[in-house]
Amino acid sequence: MELLPAPRVVVPSRGEVRLTEHSRLHAGPGAEAVGRWLTGALRQATGLPLPEHREAAGAAGDGIALRLDAALAGEEYRLVSGPHGVLIEGGTAAGVFRGAQTLRQLLGPDAFRRAPLRSDRAWTVPHVRIEDAPRFRWRGLMLDVARHFLPKDGVLRQLDLMAAHKLNVLHLHLTDDQGWRIEIRRHPRLTEVGSWRARTKIGHRASPLWDERPHGGYYTQDDIREIVAYAAERHIEVVPEIDVPGHSQAAIAAYPELGNTDVVDTASLGVWDTWGVNPNVLAPTDHTLRFYEGVFEEVLELFPSEFIHVGGDECPKDQWRRSPAAQARVRELGLAGEDGLQAWFIGHFGEWLAARGRRLIGWDEILEGGLAQGAAVSSWRGYRGGIAAARAGHDVVMCPEQQVYLDHRQDAGPGEPVPIGYVRTLEDVYRFEPVPPELTPEEARHVLGTQANVWTEVMEDQQRVDYQVFPRLAAFAEVAWSSLPAPEDRDFAGFEQRMTAHYRRLDALGVAYRPPTGPRPWQRRPGVLGRPLDGPPPLR
Ligand code: ACM
């Protein structure tokens, strides 16, 4: 049946359920919203009316029934297609929703289209019994909408693609040196000034090329509400990232007093137009803390997520070293030096979030200098940070750049568009293991899961994002959802076999993936300088 990600148990049997214009859908208590979603998706693709049936029994034969089963865990589901019709049961509505995604795969690739291709085709579900549950509770995708803005429709589409792969966390990287992408009512210049730049470097920062068109965009608070609600309908949590104290030049361009005004003329800074690690970081002042508390207050109103991401990565300390004001702060707080300012800054927001019932998560640099209980770490510089965090009792999301940075090129060939980083093929991602063997079972329980990170410096639009993300996200989704054997024992040939069916689904969804044979001519970017890395990278 070529399901992807692979379910735990699939027992096929002879026969099929045929959906017709008489078929009905019954959604039991707690599953009504999933019923509405599934009816909508199937009506679009099949043209069948699928009216609601109030009685489960009435869904017999040629119908679909959805219901909760308290004996199942939250996202666990059971899908049985047989003489009684199709029954999907989940531990919660989330479990039913995951099962509904499996049903869509069972109906064939055209079930992923938004209108029927013809009116006379038969829609059948083979008889089968499927039992399934995720390996990890955090199966994420990080989308960088700061370097290149992805308009709202693109984010909603990405949520649909995530849902089709049973992913459940969208980490939205909303702010960076090159752009501020979320409306903050009390600080309007963050978007008036910070949401656009006059021009953009094309390719790696060493490239001589510029795109001289202004680039920008941001989500209004209503756009964010819509994104969060759309995600919730798909049982996806949106975790916002506001990156502090580094990666902040767009905010400083909007409000120069946020920067280290005693060592740089922050009033002359614009939104950054090129790439790399930026020296212009936030000043460690009370004013900065109050300003960002105001930002986070609005962020908490918009995002109900348990975790709030505060960035914390790549904050050069040079300006703090030279700034008399920052040095006075070091002395006043009794810190060991400017390195301590970073831990103080992050610690402040960790406590601030905890007092409001939320948990801080940040990139693994936040471990330096100690981390408050309850805070969690996104381990990006290999596994090392994640191992240290888990051993110290912190929860971890594994996203090592050596394995699951999808901006990295996926083939060594010369045709790859703007080749960045290491070669990480579909097979490499399929053999990625989120839990390092060094961890004891007790420590490994702190690994909440894993996410793939999509940094968009060299991805200027949706097509470029599609190319970098797919097909590798399909392999990643199976790593995150399915209970696969050890990396060397994984059946990549079997996965590739299932991918042949999955490419047809991606085609129906309109995904501009990288074909197995290499980029199509229009997917190349000849002449744009990248930065391919060679040699064996440090894996942890
Ligand atoms: C990162 O890649 N700087 C988290």
- The contacts of residue 215 (CB under 8 Å, 6+ apart) are 148, 149, 179, 196, 197, 199, 200
Task: Label residue 534 by pLDDT band (50, 70, 90).
Answer: confident
CA of 345 to the centre of ligand 1 (A): 18
- Residue that has been written with the tokens 């999955």 in this structure: 502
- The domain limits of the chain are 9-132, 138-523
What count of other Cβ atoms lies within 10 Å of the Cβ of residue 323? 21
The answer to whether residue 428 is catalytic is: no
pLDDT at res. 59: 52
> Ligand 1 atom closest to Cα of 455?
2
**Tens-place pLDDT, residues 328-360:** 999 999 998 999 999 999 999 999 999 999 999
Probe target for ligand 1 pocket from 147, 243, 314, 402, with the most ligand atoms within 8 Å of CB = 314
pLDDT at res. 511: 98
Q: What average pLDDT does range 225-241 have in this prediction?
A: 99
* Contact between residue 182 and residue 175 where contact means Cβ atoms under 8 Å apart: yes
Ligand 1 surroundings by CB, under 6 angstroms: 313-314, 363, 380
Q: What average pLDDT does range 111-130 have in this prediction?
A: 97
Q: What average pLDDT does range 88-97 have in this prediction?
A: 98
- The 3 state secondary structure assigned to 478-530 is HHHHCCCCCHHHCCHHHHHHHHHHHHHHHHHHCCCCCCCCCCCHHHCCCCCCC
* Contact between residue 38 and residue 99 where contact means Cβ atoms under 8 Å apart: no
Going by DSSP bridges, is the β-strand pair 215-216/200-201 parallel, antiparallel, or unpaired?
A: unpaired
**Residue percentage of the chain with pLDDT more than 90:** 95
Q: What average pLDDT does range 488-508 have in this prediction?
A: 98
Q: What average pLDDT does range 223-247 have in this prediction?
A: 98
Mean model confidence pLDDT for the chain: 96
The answer to whether residue 247 is catalytic is: yes
pLDDT at res. 141: 99
**Tens-place pLDDT, residues 16-46:** 999 999 999 999 999 999 999 999 999 999 9
Going by DSSP bridges, is the β-strand pair 175-176/447-454 parallel, antiparallel, or unpaired?
A: unpaired
Going by DSSP bridges, is the β-strand pair 395-398/447-454 parallel, antiparallel, or unpaired?
A: parallel
The whole-angstrom separation of Cα 111 and Cα 365 is: 44
Query: Is 484 a residue whose pLDDT tops 80?
Result: yes
CA neighbours closer than 13 Å in the CB half-sphere of residue 396: 31
CA 205 to chain centre: 25
Task: Label residue 538 by pLDDT band (50, 70, 90).
Answer: low
Which CATH entry fits the domain spanning 9-132: 3.30.379.10, 3.90.79.10, 3.40.50.10170, 3.40.50.2000?
A: 3.30.379.10
Query: Is 539 a residue whose pLDDT tops 70?
Result: no
CA of 380 to the centre of ligand 1 (A): 6
For 411, phi and psi rounded to 5 degrees? -160, 150
CA of 363 to the centre of ligand 1 (A): 7
pLDDT at res. 425: 97
**Tens-place pLDDT, residues 388-442:** 999 999 999 999 999 999 999 999 999 999 999 999 999 999 999 999 999 999 9
The answer to whether residue 314 is catalytic is: yes
CA of 455 to the centre of ligand 1 (A): 8
Q: Which tokens is 24 given?
A: 């009905």
* Contact between residue 459 and residue 421 where contact means Cβ atoms under 8 Å apart: no
Query: Is 540 a residue whose pLDDT tops 50?
Result: no
Q: What average pLDDT does range 506-517 have in this prediction?
A: 98
Query: Is 170 a residue whose pLDDT tops 60?
Result: yes
CA of 313 to the centre of ligand 1 (A): 6
Of the candidates 247, 394, 446, 502, the residue annotated as catalytic is: 247
Query: Is 468 a residue whose pLDDT tops 60?
Result: yes
Query: Is 537 a residue whose pLDDT tops 70?
Result: no
- The contacts of residue 1 (CB under 8 Å, 6+ apart) are 10, 12, 105, 106, 126, 128
Kindly state which CATH superfamily the domain 138-523 is placed in: Glycosidases (3.20.20.80)
**Residue percentage of the chain with pLDDT more than 70:** 98
Probe target for ligand 1 pocket from 244, 378, 380, with the most ligand atoms within 8 Å of CB = 380
Query: Is 220 a residue whose pLDDT tops 90?
Result: yes
